[in-house]
């Protein structure tokens, strides 16, 4: 089958006598277009923020077994040359490479960098018990001497709406961790699990309608994993 011009190879079995149906399949795909995958994700209700476009490529080799609505996954997903741009991103957001390892117990990324201009955010995440009603997330975000406009652009590109009214200049040092159970893999749920430190040196920062100190944790909301994968 094809996603746009990209072919997928799918082999295995589908057992339809049970409810839900059970699968034992292997999916292989080389050089999937992220732009095409983003269209598919948008059709499934998992879109990036409006006006944001994504490019890059993904290679996948995934084995899925069990109930079709909650399969056990094993394999790897490797993405490269990822780039997001749009009206909220004065400079493109780039990820040179990120790898995911899938096992029955967890989904784990390698440490990877998110870059926008002179700002680099170092991050890594693990999702454990992903078949449970409340999976556990363990993610770190570190950004030494990050530029506020670049970090805001990253967050907004991933659909974090609580920062829409923030503007200004300055630098900040992020050293944060999101750890604990979440009801869903969304920015809002991950923000609830955040803890850590934010050292700031802001100038001319404006926030309309609320206390900016209450909203600072939302800056790390770009860990909306559902949008990446």
Per-domain residue ranges of the chain: 2-228
Q: What is the mean pLDDT of the chain?
A: 76
Collect all residues with Cβ–Cβ distance below 8 Å to 198 and sequence separation of at least 6. Answer: 172, 173, 174, 175, 176, 216, 217, 219
CB 77 within 8 A of CB 60: yes
- Higher-pLDDT residue of 23 and 223 is 23
pLDDT at 6 over 80: no
Model confidence at 40, pLDDT cuts 50, 70, 90, reads low
CB atoms inside a 10 Å sphere around CB 29: 19
Q: What percent of the chain has pLDDT over 90?
A: 25
Task: Kindly tell me if the per-residue pLDDT of 160 is higher than 70.
Answer: no
* pLDDT score of 88 more than 70: no
Q: Average pLDDT, stretch 200-223?
A: 49
Question: Which pLDDT score is estimated for 143?
Answer: 82
**Average pLDDT estimate for 176-181:** 79
DSSP 222: G
CA atoms within 13 A on the CB side of 156: 23
Closest listed residue to residue 77, CA positions, set 103, 52, 54: 103
> Given a cut of 90, is residue 212 above it in pLDDT?
no
The CA distances from residue 78 to 29, 97, 100, 115, in Å, are 11, 7, 6, 18
Gap between the Cα atoms of 59 and 78, Å rounded: 5
Q: Which residue has the higher pLDDT, 177 or 71?
A: 71
* Pairwise pLDDT comparison (163 vs 125), residue with the higher score: 125
pLDDT of 20 > 70? The answer is yes
Distance CA 23, CA 63 (A): 10
56-70 pLDDT, tens digit each: 999 999 999 999 988
Instruction: Strands of 16-165 (E only): list them.
Output: 22-33, 53-67, 72-86, 89-102, 106-109, 112-116, 119-128, 136-147
User: Is-contact 147 114, C-beta < 8 A?
Assistant: no
Widest CA span of the chain, in angstroms? 63
* Of the candidate ranges 29-38, 171-180, 216-225, the one whose mean pLDDT is the lowest: 216-225
More confident residue, 80 or 187: 80
pLDDT at 29 over 60: yes
Tell me the whole-structure pTM to 2 decimals. 0.73
- What are the start-end ranges of the H helices in 58-215? 148-157, 187-192, 212-215
The residue among 201 and 7 whose pLDDT is bigger is: 7
Q: How confident is the model at residue 102 (pLDDT cuts 50, 70, 90)?
A: very high
Within 8 A by CB and 6+ apart from 94, the residues are 82, 83, 114, 115, 116
Q: Give me the helices (H) in the chain, please.
A: 34-43, 148-157, 187-192, 212-215, 225-228
């Amino acid at each position: 089958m094809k996603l746009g011009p990209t072919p997928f190879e799918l082999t295995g079995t589908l057992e339809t006598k049970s409810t839900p149906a059970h699968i034992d399949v292997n999916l292989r795909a080389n050089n999937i277009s992220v732009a095409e995958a983003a269209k598919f994700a948008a059709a499934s209700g998992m879109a990036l923020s409006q006006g944001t476009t994504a490019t890059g490529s993904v290679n996948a080799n995934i084995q899925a077994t069990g109930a079709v609505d909650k399969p056990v996954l094993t394999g790897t997903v490797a993405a490269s040359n990822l780039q997001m741009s749009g009206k909220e991103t004065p400079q493109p957001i780039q990820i040179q490479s990120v790898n995911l390892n899938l096992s029955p117990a967890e989904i784990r990324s390698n440490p990877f960098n998110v870059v926008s201009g002179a700002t680099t955010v170092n991050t890594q995440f693990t999702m454990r018990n992903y078949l449970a009603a409340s999976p556990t997330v363990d993610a770190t975000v570190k950004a030494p001497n990050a530029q506020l406009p670049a970090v805001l652009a990253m967050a907004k590109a991933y659909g974090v709406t609580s920062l829409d009214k923030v503007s200004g200049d300055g630098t900040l040092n992020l050293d944060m961790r999101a750890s604990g159970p979440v009801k869903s893999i969304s920015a809002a749920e991950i923000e609830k699990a955040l803890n850590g430190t934010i050292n700031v040196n802001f100038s001319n920062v404006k926030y309309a309608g609320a206390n900016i100190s209450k909203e600072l944790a939302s800056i790390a909301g770009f860990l909306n994993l559902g949008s990446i994968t």
